[in-house]
Chain A
Amino acid sequence: MSIKRLSPEELLALDRFAVDEGNPHIVVDKAACARCEKRPCLVVCPARCYQQKDGQVHFEYAGCLECGTCRVMCSDQGVTQWNYPRATFGVTYRCS
């Protein structure tokens, strides 16, 4: 295999995730995000869990790498809850 540009999906596909279905560890307030103009989350989330569609911020916790950047960078109270996933859930690194 040769080195190539990997898409966000391809990058996350390298990792192992156990998704805690129906139990997000990060909760985002859509109304606050709608009011937010800067939306740093779209740029700084290394997993691209925050995506803009039709002018709205959509958040998907399934591929979260648990770094905390969104919480630290969110200045408009959009991230209303941030915790690590419950034990046994989330990302598992094997060679980092």
Chain B
Amino acid sequence: MAEDDFDAIVVGAGPAGSACAYTLAKAGKNVLLLERGDSAGAKNVSGGRLYTYALELVEPGLARRAPLQRRIVREQIMLLSDGQATTIDHAEYGKEAESCSVIRATLDEWFAAEVEAQGASVVPGMRVDGLLEENGRIVGIKVGEDEMRAGIVVACDGVNSMLGQQAGLFGDVKAHAVGVGVKETIELSPAVINQRFGVKDGEGAARVAIGCTEGISGGGFLYTNQDSVSLGIVFNPEQAARNGRQIQEIFQDFKLHPAIAALIEGGTSIEYGAHLVPEIGFHGVPRRLYRDGFLVAGDAAQFGINTGMIIRGMDLALVSGLAAARAVLQGGDPGPAYMAQLEQLMLLPNLRAYAEFHGIFGISRIFREYPDLANEALRFLFTVDGKVPPPMIKQLKAIVKSKVSYAQLARDAWKGYRSV
């Protein structure tokens, strides 16, 4: 039998791959971390918020060293309608921020350099083309004509995970289980960002928006970076296809909504990206995440949590990369050890806690009728035009009835209740 070139080969230098390779290399393992982009982060797009506990879990102090953008201190929810917007803005003063906005090109490149500093071989510009299999065991990878062997291959190759599919662990991603995200990065001066979002230097806001998708299940997001904002929408692709209007057009409408345009006015668009996002949480995770000589972590394992207000992916990627590394370091059978680590590190328990939440996104009226209803009701309550207003309760009932029947309202409330 041929000798191994490495103790471990980790494919993909995103948060999962780098967390895994970092932990393994720190423990003295001979690790190869491969990345298909010219540098780590070059192929990656994220909304832009990382919950930093996960970096601290990989190694205390890592979050302080990381090139993070702004500490998120304002959580905002926007209900958009044609020509109207309602914004809810929450802040807890004096509380330490739990998350930061990030730019992946910067963050991932930094983390890959940290991995290298721990002694791993980090090689960007390498697309892994296939797996080496011997006697039912994955023993390495193929890059073009080259073969490299290792005691374990950890696939952190993203939401489309070609390697997980090649390993036979799961089939291709299903359309109902993902969202397609589009995003524009818009440059703005730090002072303007501070002023428009009511934050100090180093602090930022995160915003989600509903009512900007033409009724398609999905929502808008906005994250403030140091000197730019990340603005985007995630769409359910099946509903988008049925809706029939190009998603880029819907996104541009969102950008130009008066409530959004005012936030980015004077800015310069500097990048446009798109990515698939695991959307259905626990129920989207493949049943098998390992086989002999092979583990799957991060987006490749479809780890994601979306409650409508909380959107998590990168933290779960970091935690799962750490779990994979710990499983390998235990020295036994890494597969079952990996699943045990995912429990111990609270990743799977977290996914289970939100398991039914995606049911909320099955309430179609959340994406048009309810934001409209809120805006219409508030418009009525704030209107003073010198005329005698209609009786308040009667008018509010009329506004509700113009958008939704009481039967629909009751059904949606029940469905929402069941989901959470």
**Chain A residue nearest in CB terms to B157:** A84
Q: Is the CB of A68 within 8 A of B159?
A: yes
Grouping DSSP codes into helix (H, G, I), strand (E, B) and loop, the B interface class, with mixed when no group exceeds half, is mixed
Q: Is the CB of B241 within 8 A of A96?
A: no
Q: Is the CB of B240 within 8 A of A44?
A: yes
Residue interface mask A59-96, B partner, CB < 8 A = 1: 00000011111011100000000011111101111111
- Taking CB atoms, residues of chain A closer than 8 Å to B255 are 3, 5
Q: Is the CB of A69 within 8 A of B183?
A: no
**Chain A residue nearest in CB terms to B177:** A72
Q: Is the CB of A44 within 8 A of B271?
A: no
Q: Is the CB of A86 within 8 A of B271?
A: no
With both chains docked as a complex, state the minimum distance between the C-beta of B391 and any C-beta of chain A, in angstroms. Answer: 42
Q: A15-B272, A96-B271 are in contact. Are A83 and B241 (CB under 8 A)?
A: no
Q: Is the CB of A73 within 8 A of B237?
A: yes
Q: Is the CB of A11 within 8 A of B248?
A: yes
With both chains docked as a complex, state the minimum distance between the C-beta of B112 and any C-beta of chain A, in angstroms. Answer: 15
In angstroms, Cα B223 to Cα A96, docked, is 11
**Chain B residue nearest in CB terms to A46:** B274
Q: Is the CB of A72 within 8 A of B174?
A: yes
Q: Is the CB of A73 within 8 A of B36?
A: no
Grouping DSSP codes into helix (H, G, I), strand (E, B) and loop, the A interface class, with mixed when no group exceeds half, is loop
With both chains docked as a complex, state the minimum distance between the C-beta of B109 and any C-beta of chain A, in angstroms. Answer: 10
- Taking CB atoms, residues of chain A closer than 8 Å to B235 are 44
Residue interface mask A1-25, B partner, CB < 8 A = 1: 1111110100110110000000000
Q: A2-B265, A3-B267, A14-B270 are in contact. Are A96 and B103 (CB under 8 A)?
A: yes
Count contacts on B: residues with CB < 8 A to the other chain: 59
- Taking CB atoms, residues of chain A closer than 8 Å to B274 are 46-47, 65, 67, 69
A38 in the interface (beta carbon within 8 A): yes
- Taking CB atoms, residues of chain B closer than 8 Å to A85 are 127
In angstroms, Cα B266 to Cα A92, docked, is 26
Q: Is the CB of A96 within 8 A of B180?
A: no
B46 in the interface (beta carbon within 8 A): yes
- Taking CB atoms, residues of chain B closer than 8 Å to A31 are none
- Taking CB atoms, residues of chain A closer than 8 Å to B162 are 83-84
Q: Is the CB of A43 within 8 A of B273?
A: no
Q: A2-B266, A72-B172, A93-B43 are in contact. Are A42 and B246 (CB under 8 A)?
A: yes
- Taking CB atoms, residues of chain A closer than 8 Å to B244 are 43
- Taking CB atoms, residues of chain B closer than 8 Å to A65 are 45, 272-275
Q: Is the CB of B105 within 8 A of A94?
A: yes
Q: A68-B276, A86-B127 are in contact. Are A44 and B45 (CB under 8 A)?
A: no
Q: Is the CB of B105 within 8 A of A68?
A: no
Among A38, A66, A91, A96, the residue within 8 A (CB) of B183 is A96
Q: Which of B261-291 contact A (CB under 8 A)?
A: 261, 264-276
With both chains docked as a complex, state the minimum distance between the C-beta of A30 and any C-beta of chain B, in angstroms. Answer: 20
- 23 A-B interface contacts by CB (under 8 A): A3-B186, A5-B252, A6-B269, A6-B272, A40-B238, A43-B240, A43-B241, A43-B243, A43-B246, A65-B274, A67-B274, A69-B274, A72-B172, A72-B174, A72-B175, A84-B43, A87-B125, A87-B127, A91-B43, A93-B42, A94-B271, A95-B270, A96-B273
Binding site for A on B (CB under 8 A): 36-38, 41-46, 103-105, 125-127, 159-160, 162, 172-175, 178, 180, 182-186, 228, 230, 235, 237-238, 240-241, 243-248, 252, 255-256, 261, 264-276
Query: A44-B237, A95-B185 known; 5 other A-B pairs, CB under 8 Å?
Result: A43-B247, A67-B275, A72-B175, A84-B127, A95-B228
